[in-house]
Amino acid sequence: PIIGKDDLRRRVMINSIATVWDGNEVWLLVAGGATFAAFPLWYATMFSGYYLALFLVLFGLILRGVAFEYRGKRDSVVWRKRWDWAIVVGSALPALLFGVAFGNVVSGSPIAPLEGTPAGTDFATNAGALNYTGNLLNLLNPFSLLMGLMTLTVFMAHGAIYLRLKTYGEVRDAAKGAALKIGVVAAVIAVATLLWYQAYSDRVALTLPLALIAAVCWLAALGMTMKGRDGWAFIFSSATILFAVTTLFVGLFPNGMLSSTDAAYN
């Protein structure tokens, strides 16, 4: 809705990812399968605890994929407009909720022993005796919502930078303004989020430099966008996302999830 002001622009935007969007199904299945294979107890706790949030992510991706396929099935303005909004919702939900999920993983979730677990159980070797005890509202805490806004705005600007790289004419021109405006908002939110995250990290000496590298990459991406160096802008925005995720997992190590109930249940 920001760049695609008319049907031609929206068609160009959809065509720019026509050959790659279906890869979402592949990386999602690989991510879930790899987590189950490598860290089954982490997988069990996270996917049961965040069930509704992850279901909404799946719903968004399904809605998005169906919209791409069905948008052009009828020659109707109303028909296309409805599917265009399905694309918007189906894209925004995962972008927001992945950040919310990450925020809960790194800041702590209500994890406690299963009822009837014997006293003195060593949870380091028997993590299967632990269970997520919260609900969807527990996931929507201030830090996690801020993390969700960070991923949403960063991905929006990243998408606009991608459009600069892949399109010409009006869409490319509009994408520059969108990337810069949304990118500045994303920068402010990201700085606030990553600084707040340091309060949850026991490795500030490692996570803070990584966060600063991510910030520098983001500023470089915006600078390259202003100069019209679209390839470098996309590389730097990709590096920003990479270093931001690395920052979170370095701070989390050696845990897979943190317990807000008791550190013994990490």
Residues 6+ apart with CB under 8 A from 238: 158
Asked if residue 161 has pLDDT above 90, the reply is yes
The sign of the dihedral angle between the CA atoms of 121, 124, 129, 132 is positive
The helix (run of H) or strand (run of E) holding residue 95 is helix 77-107
Find out whether 225 and 180 touch, Cβ atoms under 8 Å.
yes
pLDDT in tens, 214-240: 999 999 999 999 999 999 999 999 999
The residue among 175, 194, 190 whose CA lies nearest residue 234 is 175
- The mean pLDDT value for 236-257 works out to 90
Which one is predicted more confidently, 146 or 253? Answer: 146
Q: Which residue bears the tokens 């107890």?
A: 41
| Three-state secondary structure readout of 53-75 | HHHHHHHHHHHHHHHHHHCCCCC
pLDDT in tens, 181-214: 999 999 999 989 988 888 887 888 888 899 999 9
Residues of the chain with pLDDT > 90: what percent? 47
Q: What local confidence, expressed as pLDDT, does residue 127 receive?
A: 67
Residues 6+ apart with CB under 8 A from 126: none
Provide the mean pLDDT of the chain.
89
Backbone angles phi, psi at 185, to 5 degrees: -60, -45
pTM for this model (two decimals): 0.88
Q: What local confidence, expressed as pLDDT, does residue 21 receive?
A: 85
- The mean pLDDT value for 252-257 works out to 84
Asked if residue 118 has pLDDT above 90, the reply is no
Output the CA torsion 225→226→232→237 (10° steps): -40
Asked if residue 136 has pLDDT above 90, the reply is no
pLDDT in tens, 13-65: 999 988 888 887 788 889 889 989 998 888 888 888 888 888 898 899 899 98
* Least confident range of 122-131, 165-174, 222-231, 235-244: 122-131
